[in-house]
Chains A and B, each alone.
Chain A
Amino acid sequence: MTTGDIGLWGVPIAVIGGAIRVSTPILFVSLGETLTERSGRINLGLEGTLVIGAMTGYATAVLTGSAWAGVLVAALAGAVFGLVHGLVCSLPKVNDIAIGIAMMLLGTGLAFYFGKPFIQPVAPNLPAIPLGWWSDLPQVQAALNVNVLFLIGLALAFAMHWMLRATRPGLIVRVVGDSSDAARAMGLKPAQIRTIATAIGGAFAGVGGAYLSLYYPGSWNEAISSGQGLMAVALVIFARWNPIACIWAALLFGGAGALGPALQSVGVTQGYYLFYAAPYVLTLGVLIATSSPSRAMAGAPGELSITK
């Protein structure tokens, strides 16, 4: 076997590399949603936040010439969207799921509106670390060209896990998420804490969006996200509101998303659109397998409207 000609072995290698590439935005969104849902609120609007993050990140990178400035602005824009969602949902009788749908519409609308002039210009990309240097195979090198944001996402997952388990802010978030009454008895203000958790969750989703436009696929257009934000929200249920489990869930879905392009690269073009649908089918399958009609789900925050 000669270098560069590895036949069908190219498929699993491409899938692994693709899993890392595709999973990063899903990881960021699901981490943000985990924090938000652990505080007892659901934010379905993260799909819109992801697109806003992609647009603001790209636009900033074009204007400043710095991809990292783009990531920062995307996080800020995401936080603003999360803050709006959090504040609106704090009003009595307002439905957080419906607000999420409206924010999805508003977020994508604003992103397309302001993003129009940035479809043509080229922004600097985020740097990647060549972790495949030990291999001679170009396929392996390409697959292990890992973006810095993925590593940051991994670190954040562990940090959030520790924060929720072992720190006072983590305890506060968990109490508020499990019982508003208990939180009030402790002298906490549930609405305020949920709003903060939603804003931070929005910042995570914004960074996920910046990854989309600044690394992979690495351009800004109106088809930048097709439901990754929504899938990430569904994944949080699968990951049982556990930040570490979000990593595995995101990688699994990244792999599913990478299957179509990987098969196409070795000449399998049949059923391209069906492979394209694989992540959605997988998400739905996972939801069906992990939901239950009768009992409350293990690990679910008690105040969460989606599991009530």
Chain B
Amino acid sequence: MALAESLSGGGARSTLLRAGLARRAEAVVIPLLALLAGLAVFGLFLLTQGKSPVDFFALVWKGAYGSAFSWQNTLSRAAPLLLSALCVALPARLGLVVIGGEGAIVLGGVAAGALAGPLAGAPAIVGLPLLAAAAMVVGGVWIGASGALRHLRGVNETIASLLLSYIAIALMNQLVEGPLRDPASLNKPSTAPLADQLRVGNMPGMDVHWGLAFGIAACVLSWVLIERTTWGFAARIAGGNLRAAEVQGLPVGRLIVGFTALGGAFAGLAGFFEVTAIHGSANASLAAGYGYTGILIAFLARQNTLAIIPVAILLAGFDASSGLVQRRMQLPDATVQVLQGLVFMAILMSETLYGRLRLFAAGKGA
């Protein structure tokens, strides 16, 4: 029917075009509205607490984007968020909800920290790629296991990945306080400090480490993979209905394991950058919650890997400014979590609006 209309003349074609545009506009406007609605509800929450929402958002702006220093802080935090959001967005293409990215970050970081000891004498050009590869393999195996369990045993991947992430944190604690512990780390058990040449430095001209560039590159590459390759095409088909895809003869198992493992590898890479660029050794600071914020980012970006880039920078800003906001307004540190929860709820509730707003329905043509 639509095809016949488009062939019949210019008027019908422009209707189709408008319908396509309306869909794109919908995909941008609805998440933005949801974000604003979530922020508005949070503003009301602050009012009930006797705090000024205007002050709050002004301080967030100042702490996140107000100066070169705050921009650098924000962008440094964006690096792990970009990568951990991919750990959610890639499996989501297949209709899977993976929420255990935190575990892959932690174990990726531990792998990098552990391997850094034997590689202490290696030059950076050899050592760093090996550390990154180790982190990515460990992260990939960890999240890929959730995918494999889903495919082979029908285990729910949401619960499995979160359980694996608790197990990962316990493993890290065991390793860092036991066999991998540097005896010199007294108050905070850590692996031995990395050799100087194995520390990842800052990008030229700014005080932001290379993780940001790799994170953005990973988002762009993921977009190419999904939108421009046969694997991505197969994944998009399978994401509609895994069982139907299996009947069609698509390699559903390989797709599931491949996409979950790739997502996990990116989260592992985030752990690598946290250890080599920020902490200088692997310790409990790896479990900083980036994996959980990544879930929110992926959903806010509606699982679009390019949209992850601006959304991650936005949420990294909230993160970066939280210290300043807490001090100035005497708010508990959980305030950011409340804000994130409200925005998350708003974005999920907005799913119900698609195809139902009159503004966009006009484009569909009667």
Contacts and interface: CB of A to CB of B under 8 A. Distances in A.
Given A95-B348, A109-B334, 7 more contacts: A88-B345, A110-B334, A227-B162, A234-B156, A281-B167, A284-B163, A292-B153
Contacts of B348: 88, 94-95, 98-99, 102
Given A94-B348, A105-B340, A230-B163, A292 B154 contact: yes
B105 interface: no
Nearest to A234: B159
A276 B173 CA distance: 10
Given A98-B348, A283-B163, A288 B338 contact: no
A93 interface: yes
Contact of A227 (B155, B160, B163): B163
A187 interface: no
B332 to A, nearest CB: 4
Interface in B102-149: 149
Contacts of A95: 97, 348, 351
Interface residues of A, number: 48
A227 B155 CA distance: 18
Interface SS of B by simple majority: helix
Among A99, A101, A274, max chain B CB count under 10 A is at A101
Interface in A109-154: 109-113, 116
Nearest to B346: A102
A99 B295 CA distance: 12
B351 A277 contact: no
Given A94-B352, A109-B338, A291 B155 contact: yes
B337 A284 contact: no
Nearest to A306: B156
B99 A293 contact: no
B186 interface: no
A9 interface: no
A112 B334 contact: yes
A283 to B, nearest CB: 6
Interface residues of B, number: 45
A287 interface: yes
Contacts of A98: 97, 299, 348
Contact of A284 (B164, B334, B340, B345): B164
The 3 closest A-B pairs by CB, nearest first: A106-B341, A109-B337, A112-B334
B340 A233 contact: no
Nearest to B342: A106
A273 B296 contact: no
A280 B341 contact: no
B338 A110 contact: yes
B166 interface: yes
Nearest to A85: B345
Interface in A275-308: 276-277, 280-281, 283-284, 287-288, 291-294, 306
Interface string A256-277: 0000000000000001111011
A108 interface: yes
A274 B174 contact: yes
Among B155, B163, B345, max chain A CB count under 10 A is at B163
A291 B163 contact: no
A2 interface: no
A209 to B, nearest CB: 16
29 contacts: A92-B352, A93-B352, A94-B348, A95-B348, A98-B97, A99-B348, A101-B344, A102-B296, A105-B337, A105-B340, A106-B338, A108-B334, A109-B336, A109-B341, A110-B341, A112-B337, A116-B332, A116-B334, A222-B334, A274-B174, A280-B167, A283-B163, A284-B160, A287-B155, A288-B149, A291-B153, A292-B153, A293-B151, A306-B156
A91 interface: yes
B167 A284 contact: yes
Nearest to B295: A101
A230 B159 contact: yes
A226 interface: yes
Given A93-B352, A273-B177, A287 B156 contact: yes
A94 B171 contact: no
Given A101-B295, A110-B338, A273-B177, A93 B354 contact: yes
Nearest to B151: A293
A224 interface: no
Contacts of B337: 105-106, 108-109, 112-113
B335 interface: yes
A227 B153 CA distance: 23
